[in-house]
Amino acid sequence: MDLTLWLPRFTAAMEETFGERLLFLGLQGSRARGEAQEDSDIDTVVILDRLTAEDLAVFRAAAETLPYGEKLCGFVSSAGVLRSWDRGELFGFIRDTVPLKGDLLALTPPTGREEAREAVHAGACALYHACCHNLLYDRSGAILGALYKSARFVLRAKAFADGGEDCPDLTTLRAALSGKDLEILERYLALRAGETAEDLDAWGGPFLAWAGRLVETYAPDQR
């Protein structure tokens, strides 16, 4: 698909559907980062003045009229709910969103290094739990690969929380990391390039230890 042609059509469809109620449109995920493959989803952000179940039905009907509408996924919300969202999650959400219409910063509270630390802690908790479950029960290389992919976002938040600049792409993020953090990113890059985590314990063990250290280091009582 040609995203440069599709996005204006999507924007026009949302404007026609919701009119002045549409406060913000954005793009996230691999297509926003320029890393999409042919079968990648289209992760969009749609913020309305308010949101009901009926609005979701209207959105779904509008999406069905678009080419590649079946690939649409992402975040739909009211402005009020978005303003009250978890600050740690908002840190990554704001930075992962490319605006198409409107100003996301005008709809969200400010986020800085404290929110980045919250994002690191929450992300590391989720990764630790999922990795432990996978090593015990699922024993899946695909799941472990997905966890390494998610780790890049925790690493981005960590780099900023530790006093660095924001690292919006893999090149700047890699340059900002060192030690175990860099090892985790390098393993993700290897998986992304086609390597497989055939020895699950050899790949999962370091990941579990890394996530566990972050959970302890970035816990609220350590801030």
Residues 40 and 89 in one domain: yes
Q: Which of 74, 106, 138 represents a domain boundary (last residue)?
A: 106
Beta bridge partners of 72: 42
Residues 87 and 139 in one domain: no
For the chain, the helix, strand and coil percentages under 3-state DSSP, each to the nearest 5:
65, 10, 25
Residues 120 and 102 in one domain: no
Number of domains into which the chain is organized: 2
Distances (CA, A) of 218 to 87, 149, 151, 174: 15, 20, 15, 21
Residues 42 and 129 in one domain: no
Token pair for 44: 């969009």
φ, ψ at 10 (rounded to 5°): -65, -45
Q: Are the CB atoms for 39 and 30 separated by under 8 Å?
A: no
For residue 10, what is the enclosing H or E element?
A: helix 3-18
Token pair for 206: 């370091």
**Nearest-5° Cα angle at 188, 172 to 46:** 70
Token pair for 33: 């980062």
Q: Which of 76, 106, 136 represents a domain boundary (last residue)?
A: 106
Q: Which of 59, 86, 106 represents a domain boundary (last residue)?
A: 106
Residues 86 and 125 in one domain: no
Residues 94 and 11 in one domain: yes
Residues 29 and 119 in one domain: no
Residues 62 and 99 in one domain: yes
Alpha-carbon distance of 91 to 157, in angstroms, equals 8
Alpha-carbon distance of 71 to 44, in angstroms, equals 10
Name the DSSP class of 135: I
Instruction: Give the global pTM.
Output: 0.92
Residues 152 and 191 in one domain: yes
- Tokens 């802690």 sit on residue: 121
Name the DSSP class of 167: -
CATH code of the domain in which 21 resides: 3.30.460.10
Residues 142 and 67 in one domain: no
Residues 144 and 69 in one domain: no
Q: Which domain holds residue 127?
A: 113-222
Mind listing the pLDDT tens digit of every residue in the chain (223 residues)? Answer: 899 999 999 999 999 999 999 999 999 999 999 998 888 999 999 999 999 999 999 999 999 999 999 999 999 999 999 999 999 999 999 999 999 999 999 999 999 999 999 999 999 999 999 999 999 999 999 999 999 999 999 999 999 999 999 999 999 999 999 999 999 999 999 999 999 988 999 999 999 999 999 999 999 987 6
Residues 98 and 182 in one domain: no
- Tokens 């893999």 sit on residue: 170
